[in-house]
Chain A
Amino acid sequence: GDSVTQMEGPVTLSEEAFLTINCTYTATGYPSLFWYVQYPGEGLQLLLKATKADDKGSNKGFEATYRKETTSFHLEKGSVQVSDSAVYFCALSDKNTNAGKSTFGDGTTLTVKP
């Protein structure tokens, strides 16, 4: 079945540091890929998405590129802020099934210190 593997956390960075959170996936079909962010005590917010190979999703300074050859969708940000502290989830959704459920990674907790 489908699966998503995220780099283990937690990740602690200083403000303005460069962020990379690795994500690789396994899917039988041809999935869409997503990054969600969850702030403490809140629900899931879609951060960015990509629907086909070589697509780059971007939002709020975060970027991720759909790499079919390496089955990866790594999240990057050039300069993190304290307000970026949250849990980040990589997820996929298989376009080839009517159900279209999402499969999530374990989540990576990011803490940004001033």
Chain B
Amino acid sequence: EPEVTQTPSHQVTQMGQEVILRCVPISNHLYFYWYRQILGQKVEFLVSFYNNEISEKSEIFDDQFSVERPDGSNFTLKIRSTKLEDSAMYFCASREWTSGRDNEQFFGPGTRLTVL
């Protein structure tokens, strides 16, 4: 069964460093998402991406964040200058294009980012 994959599974970085989190969505999916979950808290939407552009972003997704689909398979989240409060689990998700049908998103296993 196709699945969303994410690398690395765990990333440790120093405050102020740039990190890139990578995701490979399911191959025929057209919508891509990043979510974050601070330890013990709810899952929060960061950004959605369709047709090579951001379709929606949350207040959390400020200028320090960017997303890119550099080729036909990868979808990346870059944090330019990490802060301690960026420590969280980051989930990538993807879904097919639908027309009024259910919007099931398929989630990856997550990347745990630890900022020291």
Binding site for B on A (CB under 8 A): 32, 34, 36, 42-46, 49, 51, 89, 91, 93-95, 97-107
Whether the pair B48, A51 counts as a contact (CB closer than 8 A) is no
* Complex Cα–Cα for A34 and B105 (A): 10
Is B108's beta carbon under 8 Å from chain A?
yes
Binding site for A on B (CB under 8 A): 31, 33, 35, 41-45, 48, 50, 55-56, 89, 91, 93, 95, 98, 100-110
Chain B residues lying within 8 Å of A93, measured Cβ to Cβ, are 102-105
Which residue in A49, A100, A107 is a CB contact (below 8 Å) of B95?
A100
Whether the pair A98, B55 counts as a contact (CB closer than 8 A) is yes
Chain B residues lying within 8 Å of A36, measured Cβ to Cβ, are 107
Q: Which residue of A lies closest to B92 (CB)?
A: A43
Whether the pair B31, A100 counts as a contact (CB closer than 8 A) is yes
Beyond contacts A34-B104, A89-B43, A100-B31: 12 other A-B pairs, Cβ-Cβ < 8 A, are: A44-B91, A46-B104, A89-B42, A94-B103, A95-B102, A98-B55, A101-B56, A102-B33, A102-B105, A104-B42, A104-B43, A107-B43
